[in-house]
Every structure is written in structure tokens, then in C-alpha cells.
Amino acid sequence: MALNKILLFSLTFQLVSLLLRVSSESPWITGDVTQTPMKYLELARSPEVFDSMVRIRRKIHENPELGYEEFETSKLIRSELDLIGVKYRYPVAITGVIGYIGSGEPPFVALRADMDALPIQEAVEWEHRSKIPGKMHACGHDGHVAMLLGAAKILQKHRHDLQGTVVLIFQPAEEGLRGAKKMIEEGALKNVEAIFGIHLTNRIPFGKVASRAGPMLAGAGFFEAVITGKGGHAAIPQHTIDPVVAASSIVLSLQHLVSRETDPLDSKVVTVSKVLGGNAFNVIPDSITIGGTLRAFTGFSQLQQRIKEVITKQATVHRCNASVNLTPDGKEPLPPTVNDIDLYKQYKKVVRDLLGQEAVEEAQPLMGSEDFSKFAEVIPGHFSFLGMQDETKGYASSHSPLYRVNEDVLPYGAAIHASMAVQYLKEKASKGSISGFHDEL
């Protein structure tokens, strides 16, 4: 009995001291910077912010617009910004919008969302499916816009705490049409010191994030070549110069650029994805057009030059001529997406405070690409993935007609956006640089 009492007393004592210790360390009381993410997540989950994000996302989903045609999406963004009293610049890069929250003074830190949809026919049967035949938000950009507007609401509510200015970049035409480049050309990054981007993904579980320091997504380029010979009767090949055989040889030779000329530990891709030409069984055509893509983290322009060389020289072997275009349809190459190490450390800290240590996954580099890389080429940037996979639902991957966004993830995106901006400005104000994150790992 006595022993029990002592045990009980000691247990109570420990419990009380534990509580005291917890409360004295509690971010809510000490004003530690870690209070920000939790406070923001709570706000992001409140009906006021969450419901509006869902409403906005569904509205954009119903009316998908392709690159540089995001007029209604842009209008919706502007009316939402008007509603909360956020000033903005418009138009930037045709449909782009840039909002400003905070002191209006430096430092400036940017958050980015892309607005465009894809030429895909939605195959998901649900209440808010695309109303436009052949167009669909199948990459989650509708969710990206909603999350950034959610962050805008949170930041605007706390605008007096901002030690600088948050720049909200709503960019057009991420999917292959170089919207980021056009935004930069029209001054989107003027005075901006750092930029953050988030991409939704069904490749990782709900509520987890993936990122890495350094190169995360590959640089991407395209090529198209016309191989010209001399057409004629398929049964009398000696009177023709056959571009089909030349093209076949070129397609095979291109495979050796990666397998024989590239360090096996340095990932590169050369894919011929397009072969066009000929339309009869008994006619050798005059020409064949081939096209494809290259992906690389390093040695990008050397690889481009070798592709050009292999195509033209192999054509010569077969008595054909070839002309090579490295920017077909104006598709300029994209650099790799490279995350700044200090911003990555800040990101890990913010997400750890928000979602817990186990939420942060180390991303493997991907051969896919993102035009966020154009921003991160100019100023330090950080791009990350926010997972929304639900095992019971098995969401399809991006660019699939069966792609779906798990809307429950929107508050995480909004809170991460807002916290990253605030944290950046705080660190900047207290240290004059963000090098202070070094000891946080």
C-alpha cells in the first residue's frame, strides 16, 4: 500500500514536472518560430480557408485552360485576391498574376503556382469533372492555384507580422510552353531573393513530402530531324536513296550516346518518340521525320551536339541528308531543377514542425522536368513534392485521364507555402542571411 502511494506520488510528480516542462517549452508560450507552421496549419484547415480552397480548385477543374489561355483561371485568381485585399500585377506573360503581401519593402520572397491544364479527356466520373472536351487538369495545377490562394489568405491575415514582402507568382503555361521563362522576362523575379514551389503527387503517400538538396529533376530538351533521300519504287531500290533505312540506323545509333558515351552513374535519357514517313507498301518515301527528347543533369549541350552529329553523319553514311532542329515548335530546353541547400534545410525544418519528422522523405532524382527550373536558375529556389496517395483509393499518376487530386491535402500545401515564406523572412531579418539553418540538420 505504502509502496503504491510512493509510486503514485512519484508518478504524479513526474507527470506534473513533465507537463511544466512541456508547457514552458511550448511554442505557443515562448513565441518560438515553430509556432508559425502549426498556427498556419490550423488556419488552413479552418472552414474559412479549406472550403474556399476546395471551391476554387473544383471551379478551375471544371474549366481547364491550356497554356497561355488561362483567362478564366486568371480572372478567378484576381477576384479572390481582390476579395482579401491583396494587390497584384496583371497581366504578366499574357495570363499571369503576381500578388504582393506584406510590408512592400525588401526582402522579397516568392511562392509559385502554375495554372495550365493538359490536352487530355478526363475519364474520372465525378460531380466536378472537366466540362471542356479534350482538356483536363491532370497534373494538379488546379490544386496548386488553390493552395497558393489558401496561403495568400493566411499570409494576408498575418501581414503585419511579415518582415518583408511575399510575392505570389501565378504562372501560365508550365506544360511545355515555357511560362516561367516568359514571367521572368516580364520581371516576375525583380528584387526577389528566393522562390518556393510545391507539386502535388500521387507517387508518395498522403501527407508526406519529398525533396532533396541539389539536382532533383532533369534538364529536358527536344530534337526533330528531317532525313531526306530520294523516293521511288519499292521494288527498284537501286534507283532510290532510301531514307527509311537511314532513319532506322540513326534511331539505333542514338541509343549509343547513353549506353556507350555516358558515365553509367550519371543519368541521361535519349528517346526517339516520333518516326513519321511513308504511306504505301510499294513506295520508298522521299523523307522521314524523327523526333524525341533528351534528359540530363549534366553535360546537356554536349549531348545535344552529339545527337545532331550522329543524325547528320549517319544520314551521310546512307547517302541521305539530314537537318536537325534542337528547338522544334520553339520548344527551348529546360535546365535541371536544382534545390538550394539552405532553402532545403529550411524546408525540412518547416515540414518537421508542421507534419512531423517522419513526413519528410528524401526524394530520388527524377528524369522528368519542370519549368520551375527557370526560376531556380536565376535565384535560389526550392521545389518539392506533396504526397496525396491514398492506398484505399489508388489514385492514378499525373498526366493520366484518371488523375485525381485528394483535396484533403490542400491545407498542407497552403500551410507549407505560408510557413516557408514567413520563415525565410524571419531568418533573413534575424541573421541577414539564411545560413543559420546549418545547425538544424
Residues forming contacts to ligand NAG in the complex (CB under 6 A) are 228-230, 241, 320-321
Closer to ligand NAG at the Cβ: 209 or 241?
241
Binds 241: which of ligand NAG, Zn ion, none (CB < 5-8 Å by kind): ligand NAG
Phi/psi of residue 132, each to 5°? -105, 115
Q: Of all residues in this chain, which one has the CB nearest to ligand NAG in the complex?
A: 321
Which residue reads 528531317 in cell numbers? 226
Provide the minimum distance between the beta carbon of 287 and ligand NAG in the complex, in angstroms, as a whole number. Answer: 9
Find out whether 115 and 170 touch, Cβ atoms under 8 Å. Answer: yes
Cβ proximity of 169 and 110 under 8 Å:
yes
Interaction mask 115-144, Zn ion, x per CB under 5 A: ------------------------x-----
Q: How far is CA 298 from CA 69, 202, 268, 295, 363, in A?
A: 33, 28, 8, 9, 19
66 or 269: whose CB is closer to Zn ion?
66
CB 139 within 8 A of CB 397: no
In this structure, the chain runs to a length of 441
351 makes contact, choosing from ligand NAG, Zn ion, none, with CB < 5 to 8 Å by partner type, with none
C-alpha cell at 82: 481582390
Query: Which H or E element spans position 142?
Result: helix 141-157
* Cα atoms in the Cβ-side hemisphere of radius 13 Å centred on 161: 17
Nearest CA to 210 out of 419, 88, 355, 312 is that of 355
Which listed option, ligand NAG, Zn ion, none, makes contact with residue 139 (CB within 5 to 8 Å by class)? Zn ion
Shortest gap between Cβ of 141 and Zn ion (angstroms)? 6
- Degrees (nearest 5) of the Cα angle 346, 390, 405? 75
What is the closest distance, in whole angstroms, from the C-beta atom of residue 278 to ligand NAG in the complex?
Answer: 16
**Closer of 172 and 229 to ligand NAG (Cβ):** 229
In angstroms, give the least distance from the CB of 419 to Zn ion.
Answer: 22
Choice between 320 and 343, CB closer to ligand NAG: 320
Residue 321 contacts which entry, ligand NAG, Zn ion, none (Cβ below 5-8 A, type-dependent): ligand NAG
Report whether 117 contacts 141 (CB < 8 A).
yes
**CB nearest Zn ion: which residue?**
139
Please, which residue, 228 or 346, has the CB nearer to ligand NAG?
Answer: 228
Taking the C-alpha atoms of residue 109 and residue 102, their distance in angstroms, rounded to an integer, is 11
Binding site: which residues? 139, 141, 175, 199, 399
Binding residues (CB under 5 A) for Zn ion: these are 139
Binding site for Mn(2+): which residues? 139, 141, 175, 199, 399
